[in-house]
Structure 1
Amino acid sequence: MQRTILLSTAAAALALGVAAPAAAQNATAPRTVTITNPVPLTVETYRLANGLNVVLSRDTSVPVVAVNVWYHVGSGNEVAGRTGFAHLFEHMMFQGSANVGDDQHFRLISEAGGTLNGTTNSDRTNYFEAVPSNFLERVLWQEADRMGFLLNAMTQEKLDNQRSVVQNERRQNYDNAPYGLATETISRLLFPAGHPYSWTTIGSLTDLNAASMEDVSGFFRQYYAPNNASLAVVGDFDPAQARRWIERYFGSIPSGPPITRPTPQPVRLASEVRHVLEDRVQLPRLYVVWPSPAQFQPGDADLNVLGYILAGDRSSRLHQRLVLRDQLAQFVGANQGGRSLAGQFGITVQARPGVDLDRVLAIVDEEVARLRAEGPTQREVERARNNLEVSFVQRMQTTLGRADALNSYATFNGDPAFIQQDYARYASVTTGTVKQSLDWLGAGRIVLSVVPQGQTQLQASR
């Protein structure tokens, strides 16, 4: 039987053990904007006195509401020797807080018929739930409790347990997974030592083992505070009631200290860097990676289009050449990975058994050179733009997708309505701008060969 959690204002304050209200210097009045592209919707945004950014978007088409919390912290906020903390807290936040019992976050949402999870990358950590509309208050209460009072319930036993879980996850997904060390190797080779992107989100086993209770508690106090967070509520709800609940449960959580963002120098590679990894795999794989512009910076959208032209579908140039015509590869991929601090443009080719990766690299270079000389066709650009626009629309089809998208733009661009500007970037991509974006694919690059153990002769070495 479903039940809701109904707390009066006084009872909620007592249950949460709230501190005195934060200073009102950061509060803003609600602002409503209408978004027309890629899908029409109305968005209200405002800021609480403690700095929490709030995004509300009502849609009564189905009786479901999504709650999405973004903390502007990821592995890019860590420092060398103290890596993996952001991902560790993705796990710790589900272990219980002052008023939510151990491992009860999942149970409380599941018994309401909802879903939930959390993810971490280099630039942010998010937590999200989708529940029947009448359980909105329960979700807001739970999210507020772990934002304000996680450390009240944190113990050495919980830390050790989740540290072990993360370490096992690293072994499964990196150390012992086919091609699992490729991403970490590319990060280390592409970014200089100490750069926030030179390590992966999972962190190192050594750093996690060395982390003390005070180390991780200090990281939480610094970054998991309302002034470093954005809360999105999307779906079937009463906006006035939602605003009251948000103020009730989040409003008295104190602000955290000011956040200093990393500002690394732009990444440049003076020349090509080649590396080979022997792995327990059957097929050789080639990775070619260049430094590229950060997310939303000039060239970012054009390189996204270029990636699709090179390897986005069966009609793409590298698929036609490597998979269909020459039959050297099982699949190819190409993408622009724009992030907050820097980007990387990568081409990945899964070769067929025994294929020499020098042959594969030569064809990749031929196709890039041909595009550089001739530029793409108008039809290629239009097909790529259409596909990317479809991706925008698909992301906005569910309440969870809309909440995450709006929070993304609120966090990185200061305005959830920035999605319209992001969407519009692709309308200005032309054959000429795509050709110009190829300037990023210069001599300074990483060429990584992953080959079966004992078959280093298959690496790209010439």
Structure 2
Amino acid sequence: MGHTATSEAESGGLTATEYRLANGLRVVLSEDHLTPVAAVCLWYDVGSRHEVAGRTGLAHLFEHLMFQGSAQVTGNGHFELVQGAGGSLNGTTSFERTNYFETMPAHQVELALWLEADRMGSLLTALDQECLDNQRDVVKNERRQRYDNVPYGTAFERLTAMAYPGDHPYHHTPIGSMADLDAASLEDAQAFFRTYYAPNNAVLAVVGDIDPERTLAWIEKYFGSIPAHSGKPTPRDGSLPGGMGGEVREVVAEDVPSRALMAAYRLPHDGTREADAADLALTVLGGGESSRLHNRLVRRDRSAVGAGFGLLRLAGAPSLGWLDVKASSGVEVGAIETAVDEELARFAEHGPTAEEMERAQAQLEREWLDRLATVGGRADELCRAAVLFGDPQSALTAVKRVLEVTAEEVRSVAARHLRPDNRAVLVYEPTGGDAGSAPVEEEGENA
């Protein structure tokens, strides 16, 4: 066989073994015989950060095109075959990757591997102008339904553009612009696929009730003959010096149900101890109903009906701390902003209490355990660690690093980053209308 085993690690009873095929495909296998199911997860190292000006949205468009047929699977066949075998499937696009995944009854794993290999190796044989036009219209309609015609729907897009400079690879979000989608030609799409949908630009994880030797033989059989591609350009540098150096602010008058204060703070890159400290800080400040901002704004002041603070982890650029506060009826945003800044200043000075620290670490540990508890969640985490950090094993030890962070580190990262001069602020003033919700950063195929 043309593969090499590279390493094996164990954490809390979970193991992962790595291999690499001769064509560069990285493979991670993790046995778990608890239930008779298995997940197949494939991450391609391509997201909106890899796009160039004038051609945004291609990564997300391709996520849709990958479900439209390949050499041996026509039309909607991928969905039909997986669901007919009792499995589920989907795909999503983010700034930093595009992923595809199936959860199958254990005896149907070979089908999922064959399907993924068929479209990796032969999608271009089925990609024509009609298919491109059809899926371009689907994506444009998705943009209208999830962004343009939804209350607060463009908040994430606006804040991202404000938080990163105009020439920065993270300045635009995965959904892309209508104009760029219209401008994409069949030649653009074909070149994009050849460049990024190659085995040496992907990580395949198979997790669950599997026989590793047999699974690896299937992977070699179906993926091994797909040629590598050496033409991938070096992605643009996403690093930025220090903080934002001043607040950026925009007021939006829209048909939204209530006033809102939203903000994006630049935070440390994912994969660093500082990012884990920032995650803990945001959990204490805005991670649920026991958080400081919820207690202050919703319970005490009653100035808001909801207040949350979460971390969008990014490896190739500063991460974003995302603040979202929906105002109570009649309350001005200025009063909410004053209260938020008071809480952030108090936290920057004194940091979390021992009880808050313990609760935040337990909350992040529980979320991590929940992700690893399902075969699909574990496969995704293994792929993520391999693509973004080059080490799938780090997915199995991530929580240890969070539990090692000290309260002083949490206070310090908040003092350095959660400041008025390091944020983009979006204020919504309603003109009347119905309730809605803001989107997340991923673009997902809807099965």
TM interval, short-chain normalised: over 0.9
* Residue 273 of structure 1 pairs with residue 248 of structure 2: yes
1:32, CA displacement in angstroms?
A: 4.5
> Percent same amino acid at aligned positions?
47
Structure 2 SS opposite 1:187: helix
Structure 1 SS opposite 2:191: helix
* Residue 112 of structure 1 pairs with residue 90 of structure 2: no
2:45–2:98: 8 Å Cα contact kept in structure 1? yes
Residue 444 of structure 1 corresponds to which residue in structure 2?
422
Bigger shift: residues 281-290 or 213-222: 281-290
Q: Tell me, in whole angstroms, the C-alpha distance in 1 between the residues paired with 2:405 and 2:149.
A: 41
1:79–1:194: 8 Å Cα contact kept in structure 2? no
Task: Give, as a single letter, the amino acid of the residue that structure 2 aligns with 1:264.
Answer: G
1:75–1:86: 8 Å Cα contact kept in structure 2? yes
Q: Tell me, in whole angstroms, the C-alpha distance in 1 between the residues paired with 2:262 and 2:312.
A: 14
Q: Tell me, in whole angstroms, the C-alpha distance in 1 between the residues paired with 2:7 and 2:14.
A: 11
Structure 2 SS opposite 1:122: coil
Task: Identify unmatched segments of 5+ residues in structure 2.
Answer: 434-447
Task: Give, as a single letter, the amino acid of the residue that structure 1 aligns with 2:13.
Answer: P
1:278–1:454: 8 Å Cα contact kept in structure 2? no
Bigger shift: residues 141-150 or 372-381: 372-381
Work out which of the residue numbers 418, 421, 436 in structure 1 matches 2:394. 418
Structure 2 SS opposite 1:291: strand
Residue 221 of structure 2 corresponds to which residue in structure 1?
248
Task: Identify unmatched segments of 5+ residues in structure 1.
Answer: 1-23, 456-462
Task: Give, as a single letter, the amino acid of the residue that structure 2 aligns with 1:318.
Answer: L
Residue 197 of structure 1 corresponds to which residue in structure 2?
170
* Residue 78 of structure 1 pairs with residue 56 of structure 2: no
Structure 2 SS opposite 1:66: strand
Work out which of the residue numbers 280, 291, 305 in structure 1 matches 2:266. 291
* Residue 433 of structure 1 pairs with residue 409 of structure 2: yes
Residue 262 of structure 1 corresponds to which residue in structure 2?
236
Work out which of the residue numbers 193, 206, 212 in structure 2 matches 1:233. 206
Q: Tell me, in whole angstroms, the C-alpha distance in 2 between the residues paired with 1:274 and 1:69.
A: 39
Q: Tell me, in whole angstroms, the C-alpha distance in 2 between the residues paired with 1:87 and 1:388.
A: 29
Task: Give, as a single letter, the amino acid of the residue that structure 1 aligns with 2:341.
Answer: D
1:339-397 Cα shifts (integer Å, max 9, x gaps): 02221112211111221000000000000111112221111111100100001100011
Residue 453 of structure 1 corresponds to which residue in structure 2?
431
2:273–2:401: 8 Å Cα contact kept in structure 1? no
Task: Give, as a single letter, the amino acid of the residue that structure 1 aligns with 2:32.
Answer: D
Compared CA separation, residues 420 and 105, structure 1 to 2 (3 A): closer
Work out which of the residue numbers 391, 395, 407 in structure 1 matches 2:367. 391
Q: Tell me, in whole angstroms, the C-alpha distance in 2 between the residues paired with 1:168 and 1:204.
A: 12
1:118-173 Cα shifts (integer Å, max 9, x gaps): 01100011100011122111111110010010000111000000000000000011
Residue 20 of structure 1 corresponds to which residue in structure 2?
none
Q: Tell me, in whole angstroms, the C-alpha distance in 1 between the residues paired with 2:55 and 2:382.
A: 31
Work out which of the residue numbers 154, 164, 171 in structure 2 matches 1:181. 154
Q: Tell me, in whole angstroms, the C-alpha distance in 1 between the residues paired with 2:231 and 2:192.
A: 13
Bigger shift: residues 89-98 or 441-450: 441-450
Q: Tell me, in whole angstroms, the C-alpha distance in 2 between the residues paired with 1:200 and 1:373.
A: 34
1:421, CA displacement in angstroms?
A: 4.1
1:255-308 Cα shifts (integer Å, max 9, x gaps): 012431221341542211111111211211101222111111241011100111
1:32–1:42: 8 Å Cα contact kept in structure 2? no
Structure 2 SS opposite 1:150: helix
Q: Tell me, in whole angstroms, the C-alpha distance in 2 between the residues paired with 1:298 and 1:79.
A: 31
Residue 16 of structure 1 corresponds to which residue in structure 2?
none
1:282–1:353: 8 Å Cα contact kept in structure 2? no
Task: Give, as a single letter, the amino acid of the residue that structure 2 aligns with 1:129.
Answer: E
Q: Tell me, in whole angstroms, the C-alpha distance in 1 between the residues paired with 2:311 and 2:207.
A: 29
Q: Tell me, in whole angstroms, the C-alpha distance in 1 between the residues paired with 2:224 and 2:115.
A: 14
* Residue 33 of structure 1 pairs with residue 8 of structure 2: yes
* Residue 172 of structure 1 pairs with residue 145 of structure 2: yes
* Residue 99 of structure 1 pairs with residue 72 of structure 2: yes
The TM-score normalised by the length of structure 2 is 0.93
Q: Tell me, in whole angstroms, the C-alpha distance in 2 between the residues paired with 1:251 and 1:454.
A: 58
Residue 282 of structure 1 corresponds to which residue in structure 2?
257
Residue 285 of structure 2 corresponds to which residue in structure 1?
310
1:81-118 Cα shifts (integer Å, max 9, x gaps): 11000100110000000111111000001110110110
Q: Which of structures 1 and 2 has the larger relative contact order (alpha carbons within 8 angstroms, sep 6+)?
A: 2
Q: Tell me, in whole angstroms, the C-alpha distance in 2 between the residues paired with 1:402 and 1:265.
A: 29
Q: Tell me, in whole angstroms, the C-alpha distance in 1 between the residues paired with 2:186 and 2:231.
A: 22
* Residue 364 of structure 1 pairs with residue 364 of structure 2: no
Q: Tell me, in whole angstroms, the C-alpha distance in 2 between the residues paired with 1:416 and 1:271.
A: 37
1:201-231 Cα shifts (integer Å, max 9, x gaps): 1000000000000011111111010000011
Residue 19 of structure 1 corresponds to which residue in structure 2?
none
1:182–1:450: 8 Å Cα contact kept in structure 2? no
Residue 405 of structure 1 corresponds to which residue in structure 2?
381
Residue 183 of structure 2 corresponds to which residue in structure 1?
210
The TM-score normalised by the length of structure 1 is 0.90
Work out which of the residue numbers 294, 298, 301 in structure 2 matches 1:326. 301
1:323, CA displacement in angstroms?
A: 0.2
1:156-200 Cα shifts (integer Å, max 9, x gaps): 000000000000000011110110111111111111012111111
Bigger shift: residues 163-172 or 445-454: 445-454
Residue 312 of structure 2 corresponds to which residue in structure 1?
337
Q: Tell me, in whole angstroms, the C-alpha distance in 2 between the residues paired with 1:314 and 1:134.
A: 43
1:393-426 Cα shifts (integer Å, max 9, x gaps): 0001111111111111111122211124422221
Task: Give, as a single letter, the amino acid of the residue that structure 1 aligns with 2:294.
Answer: H
1:34–1:40: 8 Å Cα contact kept in structure 2? no
Aligned length: 428
Q: Tell me, in whole angstroms, the C-alpha distance in 2 between the residues paired with 1:159 and 1:184.
A: 24
